[in-house]
Amino acid sequence: MWLVYIAKDPSAFRAQLTGNADEHGRFGNFVHPLMAIKAEIMERYLITYGLGPHEIGHAGPIFLKAFVLVCYLAAILLCLLVPSIRRRPGTKVALAMLGIVFLIQCFFNQKLSWYLAHIIPLYTLVLAIAFVAIWSRDRFLRVCAAVTFIALLGVQIGGSLYLAKTNTYRKQYTPLMAFLNRLPPQQSIYGSAAIEFGLQDRERLLDDVTFGYYTHREPNYIVMDSIYEEALEGLKYNDPTAYKADQAKLKNARKIYDQDGFQVYALQ
């Protein structure tokens, strides 16, 4: 079935796969395994859990999220180092599953935070094993487990409530969409697919990080955000010629909007 699909456009298939499989793409994780593990920790875990840079508009005590990561690590150590916990039914299976998925994400996955959704249930499982084992000990450890559990809930629920309060959709996204919808109609806008949801005329949006370098369709406007900034960094290594063309377009363009991490450039 897949071969039938590939046969419809073999050149597009080749471009897609080779673009992802070169040394600067996903294949590079196998060439430099230690760097892959380091990148997994630095670029995914530390940033996701508040110990690295964060998006504009997200402020406050973000570092408190690290408490969740500390609890995961403590649970793993308890399950590995305490014989009575390690011998409990299912502990070794849970640890093995966690290790396998962690390595898969190191070598087969982009370092994007939302992919943690696939491994967090396993961290939670190991955490539950550790909690149950501690709860069955003396009263002091039971109190410690209860306090830790309440603190975990507080960080998780409090973080969600704080994020809702910051309301980046209303304060960042909505003003950008209002500006873009006031631009002259039938003129192309190049930007990430996230912009599509707020555009009144969605047909004018083109998600092309090369800014028409290969299609020869010149943009009228370019919207830069964190997604395109990261994509341009990847383009620098994977396609230097297109990257230089992009930089030339941005340099010659006129910035007409700059607010909360979004920049809009007009090309004449």
Query: What was the pLDDT predicted at 22?
Result: 63
On whether the CB atoms of residues 119 and 101 are closer than 8 A, the answer is: yes
What value does the mean pLDDT of the chain take? 89
The residue ranking higher by pLDDT, 248 or 114, is 248
> What percent of the chain lies above the pLDDT cut of 90?
63
Query: What was the pLDDT predicted at 17?
Result: 81
How far apart, in whole angstroms, are the C-alpha atoms of residue 237 and residue 223?
Answer: 22
pTM, two decimal places: 0.75
Question: Which of 78, 74, 58 has the alpha carbon at shortest distance from 66?
Answer: 74
E runs forming strands in the chain: 189-190, 205-206, 221-224, 254-259, 262-266
- Summarize pLDDT for 89-110 with one digit per residue, the tens: 899 999 999 999 999 998 887 7
